[in-house]
Amino acid sequence: MISPMWFLHNVAAISLGIFFIASSSAEQAPYSSFAKDAKLAPPVMYFDYIVIGGGTSGCALAATLSQGGAKILLLERGGLPYGNPNITNIGGFPETLADTSPTSASQLFLSMDGVFNHRARVLGGGSAINAGFYTRASSDYVASSGWNPRLVNESYEWVEKKVVFQSPMLTWQSAVRDGLLDAGVSPNNGFTYEHLPGTKVGGTMFDQNGYRHTAADLLEYADPTKISVYLHATVYQILIRTVPAGQKPKAFGVYFRDSNGNRHMAYLNNGPVNEIILSSGALGSPQLLMLSGIGPANQLRAQGIKVILDQPNVGQGMSDNPMNAVFIPSPRPVEMSLIQVVGITQVGSFIEAASGFFELVWARRMAQEVSKFENQTGHPFTTPFNENKQEAMPGPDPYRYANIQAGVILEKIAGPFSTGYLELQSRDPNDNPRVTFNYFKDPRDLQRCVQGMEIVRRVVESRHLFTFRYPFATMQTLMNMMLTYPINLRPKHVTATYSMEQFCVDTVMTIWHYHGGCQVGRVVDQNYRVLGVDSLRVIDGSTFYNSPGTNPQATVMMLGRYMGQRILQDRTPF
């Protein structure tokens, strides 16, 4: 059995638990005139566009649509990302992920694969709880998506102007960059947003002060006279008019509840181009389509949902890029960093790094493990509990008292090839759907992991990491340590001579780049319109076949902007 304590602490630990203190600031949304709690919403409202989900794509999309003169409603189930240091400060990254309360900006889910995972529940979506790394998709990805490259570039630039910064690149990230170059992941492409083979430094949504900027900041672009944003507004159903056989059903409104459980209705104004746009993310969008009667008929009937359109592809093609990592306890101080540098290898995997103080129960056990290095080298591996830290962490929680400075090198598989599916567990949109990702089901993914981990080995063993590594911390020792800790709920097959394949399968984690469920060509068309239904689109990460770039958020925001522009062009053709 899993104790709640175990759960809480280890979920943080698997999430690259990093500790860092930064000052908190109570802050309001810069656009408080139009962002309100849903309790203040009238029971019935009318708009030209209704965007469901104020996430990474939804904020970019709603801000753009409002600039075209139409009336926009944006509904988000979470609250504002401002004023909460867990969200705004870089050091709060593991705190949000460890916070399993119903008001947390992250909602924990456990996939059927036995891997802990998280989904956003806050304005700004994933961009408000993620590691902040920003990097564009390759030109091949743009071409194969059928997007207009010029509008794509303009849309990326629109995002970058507001929320993206150059990564600072201090000691640990620089050592990993140099290690990657030594390991043959070349050339050195320096700082660039572009997706180029070799080693590069990307952008970050954390500014020079470690303050997080999010997709919610893109709402500063919005026309405040045209947009309404309601927070803590959970959409239960898209209302779809059924029609005589041979005609298309048509979306005409949504039904949502505020945090008191009161019902509100939002309807589309009459007009040929008005529509509802689902931007609820890779879990939320397929889930809400099914809750609204669009999905596999047998599954809907099993939940007592009236079938409007039997669409077996809804919830199919779910993928999560497998992530494997080693933690490297460091005898010398390392800065707090999330992701800044990436190796884009020739073997279909991406190599990234993080660093800081790792704590919580997992790190404590790891500290015990590495104490033998300390005995052999004379280096202290823990640092004293400093005053700032004591202030921030009152109370006699013994788990809090282990902290260790360390780096992490991780490997993410491009694609991936393996796919799974999502199923409803209930009719409640607050419940997680049941998700199966089938990590490594396709042998090509496993091969990419093995080859990627071999490059990680070369980076770990490179001279640039020499001073960051205890002499006895060989790659084998570091891998053994990963197998010792409960980073997931999968069986471990530890033998004296386990293979890299087995290491990949047993220690797989998520890098939270899951996607699919409403894919282009299967659930939506090239213009992101839901196949077989009028006035309804899906625009977010659920439409992807592969994760774009090395990390997706740049392209998710870009897509919101891009499609917002395209929809406005349809509205006023010229």
Ligand X SMILES: *[C@@H]1O[C@H](CO)[C@@H](O)[C@H](O)[C@H]1NC(C)=O
Ligand Y SMILES: Cc1cc2nc3c(=O)[nH]c(=O)nc-3n(C[C@H](O)[C@H](O)[C@H](O)COP(=O)(O)OP(=O)(O)OC[C@H]3O[C@@H](n4cnc5c(N)ncnc54)[C@H](O)[C@@H]3O)c2cc1C
Q: How buried is residue 390: exposed, middle or buried, by Cβ count under 10 Å (0-12/13-18/19+)? A: exposed
Site for ligand Y in 64-83 (CB under 6 A): 75-78
Q: Which stretch binds ligand X (CB under 6 A): 94-102, 309-317, 408-416, 438-446?
A: 94-102
Q: Which residues lie below 8 Å from residue 141, measured CB to CB, with a gap of 6+?
A: 195, 546, 548, 549, 555
Annotated binding site: 56-57, 122, 235, 512-513, 541, 552-553
Q: What sign has the CA pseudo-torsion 219, 224, 227, 229?
A: positive
Instruction: Give the C-alpha separation, 468 to 408, whole Å.
Output: 11
In degrees and rounded to multiples of 5, residue 166 shows phi and psi of: -80, 135
By the rule CB under 6 A, 540 interacts with ligand Y:
yes
Annotated binding site for FAD: 56-57, 122, 235, 512-513, 541, 552-553
Q: Which residues lie below 8 Å from residue 227, measured CB to CB, with a gap of 6+?
A: 34, 62, 63, 66, 71, 72, 73, 74, 219
Size of the site for ligand X (CB under 6 A): 12
Contact characters 486-525, ligand Y, x per CB under 6 A:
--------------------------xx------------
By the rule CB under 6 A, 375 interacts with ligand X:
yes
Site for ligand Y in 421-460 (CB under 6 A): 429
**Site for ligand X (CB under 6 A): which residue of 153, 189, 377, 480?**
153
And the tokens for 105? 């900006």
- Ranked by CB distance to ligand Y, the top (closest) residue is 55
Size of the site for ligand Y (CB under 6 A): 43
By the rule CB under 6 A, 380 interacts with ligand X:
no
Tell me, what DSSP letter sits at residue 324?
Answer: E
- Which one from 195, 213, 264, 513 is the annotated catalytic residue? 513
Question: Could you tell me the smallest distance in angstroms from the CB atom of residue 368 to ligand Y?
Answer: 27
By the rule CB under 6 A, 99 interacts with ligand X:
yes
**Site for ligand X (CB under 6 A): which residue of 15, 64, 66, 86?**
86
In degrees and rounded to multiples of 5, residue 133 shows phi and psi of: -70, 135
Tell me, what DSSP letter sits at residue 529?
Answer: B
By the rule CB under 6 A, 56 interacts with ligand Y:
yes
By the rule CB under 6 A, 35 interacts with ligand Y:
no
By the rule CB under 6 A, 462 interacts with ligand Y:
no
Residue 320, helix vs strand vs coil: coil
Site for ligand Y in 306-365 (CB under 6 A): 339
Q: What sign has the CA pseudo-torsion 83, 87, 90, 94?
A: positive
List Cα–Cα distances, 223 to 71, 72, 78, 124, in angstroms: 10, 10, 22, 18
By the rule CB under 6 A, 98 interacts with ligand X:
yes
Cβ-contact 349, 411 below 8 angstroms:
yes
Cβ-contact 284, 275 below 8 angstroms:
no
Question: Could you tell me the smallest distance in angstroms from the CB atom of residue 312 to ligand Y?
Answer: 22
And the tokens for 476? 């084998």
By the rule CB under 6 A, 182 interacts with ligand X:
no
List Cα–Cα distances, 347 to 185, 390, 413, 437, 499, in angstroms: 10, 45, 9, 22, 19
Q: Which stretch binds ligand Y (CB under 6 A): 123-131, 189-197, 400-408, 526-534?
A: 123-131
Is-catalytic flag, 118? no
Shorter beta-carbon distance to ligand X: residue 98 or 277: 98
By the rule CB under 6 A, 288 interacts with ligand Y:
yes
By the rule CB under 6 A, 202 interacts with ligand Y:
no
Q: Which stretch binds ligand X (CB under 6 A): 91-99, 202-210, 275-283, 319-327?
A: 91-99
Contact characters 215-244, ligand Y, x per CB under 6 A:
-------------------xx---------
Instruction: Give the C-alpha separation, 205 to 426, whole Å.
Output: 36
Q: b or e along 153-190 (b: 16 or more beta carbons within 10 Å of the residue's beta carbon)?
A: eebbebbbebbbbebbbebbbebbbbbbbbbebeeebe
**Site for ligand Y (CB under 6 A): which residue of 85, 348, 541, 564?**
541
Catalytic residues: 513
* Contacting residues toward ligand Y, per CB under 6 A: 52-58, 75-78, 97, 118-122, 125-127, 129-133, 234-235, 279-282, 284, 288, 339, 429, 512-513, 540-541, 551-553, 556
* Contacting residues toward ligand X, per CB under 6 A: 84, 86, 95, 98-99, 149-150, 153, 194, 371-372, 375
